[in-house]
Amino acid sequence: MSDNGPKSTHANIQFFHVPPSPPDRYLDILNPDGTFNRNYTTEGRPVPYIENLRFRTPENAPTLDGEGYQLFSNCPTKFEAFDNTEEVERDYYPESIDIVKELTGASQVIIIDHNVRRRRIGDNPYAPGQPSRRVHVDFSASESHKILRRSLPESELAAYPERRFQILSFWRPLSHAAYDSPLVLCDYKSVNEQEDWVSLTTVRPHEEVEVVAVKYNENHKWGYYYGVTPEEVVFIKSYDSSTDKNVAFCSPHTSFDDSGTPEGSPPRESIELRLLVLY
């Protein structure tokens, strides 16, 4: 094994499971006491090959347009107060917007929200604040257009759909490399939307959001970046308005227990900004 880790790994990953009698609408409801009501289940399926993307040559490295996700190095932050929402919004947001514009060429970036996740060993792995354990896409196409409509004034909306927009996640570890509970990312080109996707409504105290749950498909191509550092960022696409069929629409993703995690690695801590990116 090199400093880049093993060339591949394997894992049991949680996918959406279709019940014998499907309901009219799949719901994921967060109750005030922190418990959930769900009218669906997931199933763990073995994924025998998860490519360590560190070994890709630069010309073959995944891109937002190609696979639906991309890692960028040399993106440090001096910000440390990730538990202070006010300071995150005041200081980390504008710093991140500048980075996103530089890396993507976007003309405007609007932050939808952010999530800080810290893995708590021994706690319910599906509890709020834990790394996600179900394969998903953060927003459906219809939800992405709702975000666009509520984020821009009427005068600017007239420019769409001619102008391109995306919904992206901007993810980085907080204070140490994320060997524990790494992201696992699916190449969009291996996805069958008609067969693999299920619309799911998440119900939270202040909103309802339609997301995409994902069923298992043996044709999916999975990859991960071994030991992402706080000086690196990962973009994950949830939606792209481009009509070019060669452009990745999104990337299903989740986190997983990696058998190759070095012994003694601290639990994962990360922040994710969810963005409306305009071109």
> Residue 102 is inside which H or E element, if any?
helix 93-104
pLDDT exceeds 70 at position 223 = yes
Q: What is the mean pLDDT of residues 16-38?
A: 90
Question: What are the strands, taking DSSP E only, across 53-86?
Answer: 69-72
Q: Which of 75, 92, 74, 71 is nearest to 83 (CA)?
A: 92
Which residues fall within 8 angstroms of residue 240, CB to CB, at 6 or more apart? Answer: 164, 166, 247, 248, 249, 250
Q: The dihedral of CA 94, 224, 247, 113: what is its sign?
A: negative
**pLDDT tens digit string along 131-152?**
999 999 999 999 999 999 999 9
pTM for the complete prediction? Answer: 0.96
Which token pair is 171? 């993810």
Residue 166 near residue 277 (C-beta atoms within 8 A): yes
Residue 31 near residue 202 (C-beta atoms within 8 A): no
**pLDDT tens digit string along 104-135?**
999 999 999 999 999 998 887 777 788 999 99
Residue 110, SS3 per DSSP: strand
Residues 6, 25: Cα–Cα separation, whole Å: 41
Q: Which of 31, 38, 32, 13 is nearest to 211 (CA)?
A: 38
Q: Which amino acid is at 157?
A: L
Cα 190 off chain centre by: 17
Q: Which of 104, 207, 88, 69 is nearest to 150 (CA)?
A: 207
- Summary mean pLDDT of the chain: 95
pLDDT exceeds 60 at position 38 = yes
Note if the bond before 131 is cis, omega within 30 degrees: no
Residues 242, 163: Cα–Cα separation, whole Å: 9
Residues 264, 239: Cα–Cα separation, whole Å: 37
